[in-house]
């Protein structure tokens, strides 16, 4: 192995296997960074045209990806409260995936399984659309949790309240 000890302080080791340890004398991977009592950071930077920077930081319970002004952009939980959770635009994900911002998806998006899943599209906590495959219903709710419209798997519709037909039906 080769040790680097500037100012008589241990800084880095390259093992006989080619593993590099920064802050550790026993690297267990090709690059192993240890920061005692702090956050180990790895900076990836591009200069010149299209310059930018990404900073990977080891947090107490996961990994945080920052941009060049240290604004958190993504969090991957690896232990404790956030174990197995991913946050994009947040470092405190409340579910397996939490996105703070808009999502653009193309192709097919599959949620849940064939036996039990729900999809809630919220406008506010009181107005939302709920689709469930446990009943095969599509439910529209407004003004609280009262059901306004239910569409069943057999293509029947149930309306709550009054249904008003238009006064002009054209050439029907």
Q: Over its length of 172 residues, how does the chain's per-residue pLDDT go in tens digits?
A: 888 888 888 889 999 999 999 888 999 899 888 877 666 677 777 787 776 777 777 776 778 887 777 777 788 888 777 888 898 988 888 888 888 888 888 877 766 665 666 666 766 666 666 666 667 777 777 766 678 888 887 888 888 888 777 776 665 5
24 sits in the region (left: phi over 0; alpha: psi -120 to 50; else beta) called beta
Q: What are phi and psi of 80, to 5 degrees?
A: 60, -140
3-class SS of residue 8 = helix
Q: Which pLDDT value is given to residue 134?
A: 66
Q: Which pLDDT value is given to residue 15?
A: 92
pTM: 0.58
State the maximum Cα–Cα separation within the chain, in Å, rounded to a whole number: 92
Q: Which pLDDT value is given to residue 120?
A: 67
Sheet of strand 97-99: strand arrangement: 41-46, 52-59, 62-66, 72-77, 86-88, 97-99
Q: Which residues pair with 4 in a beta bridge?
A: 12
């Amino acid at each position: 192995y080769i040790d680097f000890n500037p100012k008589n302080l241990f800084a880095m080791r390259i093992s006989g296997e080619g593993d590099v340890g920064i802050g550790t004398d026993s690297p267990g991977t090709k690059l192993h960074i240890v920061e005692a009592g702090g956050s180990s950071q790895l900076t990836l930077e591009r200069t010149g045209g299209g310059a930018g920077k990404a900073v990977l930081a080891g947090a107490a319970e996961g990994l945080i990806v920052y941009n060049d002004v240290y604004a958190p952009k993504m969090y991957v939980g690896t232990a404790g409260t956030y174990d197995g959770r991913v946050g994009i635009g947040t470092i405190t994900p409340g579910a397996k995936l939490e996105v703070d911002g808009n999502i653009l998806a193309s192709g097919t998006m599959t949620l849940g399984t064939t036996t039990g899943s729900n999809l809630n599209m919220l406008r506010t906590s009181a107005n939302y659309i709920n689709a469930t495959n446990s009943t095969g219903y599509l439910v529209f709710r407004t003004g609280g949790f009262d059901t306004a419209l239910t569409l069943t798997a057999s293509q029947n519709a149930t309306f709550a309240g009054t249904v008003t037909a238009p006064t002009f039906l054209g050439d029907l």
